[in-house]
Amino acid sequence: MPKKFIKRYMPDHHAIRNNKQLNKVFGTLLHDPNLLHLNRRSVSMAFFVGLFMAFVPLPTQMVMAAAIAIIIRCNLPIAVGLVWITNPVTMPPIFYFAYKVGTWILGAPEQDFSFELSWEWLGSGLAAIWEPFLLGCAVSGLVFGALGYVMIRLLWRLHIISAIKERKKKHQQKKQQS
């Protein structure tokens, strides 16, 4: 498990707790240790939040992911970091996929459009495709978020089982040597 590797780059909980600027803005909300801990619940929920928010077609994805992570007390850096799955390079194919999912669910015909990351396109281009697009974003976010949640829980459990078996094996070897 890359827990030790990730932990090296995580901010120190005491530094965040004692930061005056963060305390002015967030008060005691950032004092929860689960926001930075790497445990099965915190990380799996962060994967759900981050992957779900990656499919939200708003420029405030990171802020919303941080707010949700603070409210449900999951790992804040992982939730915010996963939002970057939809970056300027990957956004068009991901949102086109979401649009296709929405048209499939609604049974609506596809319309020709070209995606642009601009306020003008949001006003004009989105007006023609908003229903299947937003439905596809919501469904894709829920599905990929749930898959991320389940996969992290499963991989974490498999890692724990493997570590227990390894420990038992080492214990058996020590018994045989003595």
Ordered by start, the domain boundaries in the chain are 3-153
Interval 118-144 mean pLDDT:
84
Residue 107 region by backbone torsions, left for phi larger than 0, else alpha for psi between -120 and 50, else beta: left
- Rounded Cα distance, 144 and 46, in Å: 13
Is pLDDT larger for residue 59 or for residue 46?
A: 46
Model pLDDT, residue 53? 96
The residue among 132 and 34 whose pLDDT is bigger is 132
pLDDT in tens, 60-114: 899 899 889 988 989 988 999 999 999 889 988 998 899 999 999 999 888 876 6
CA proximity to 82, closest of 111, 53, 124: 53
pTM: 0.78
State the average pLDDT over residues 46-69: 92
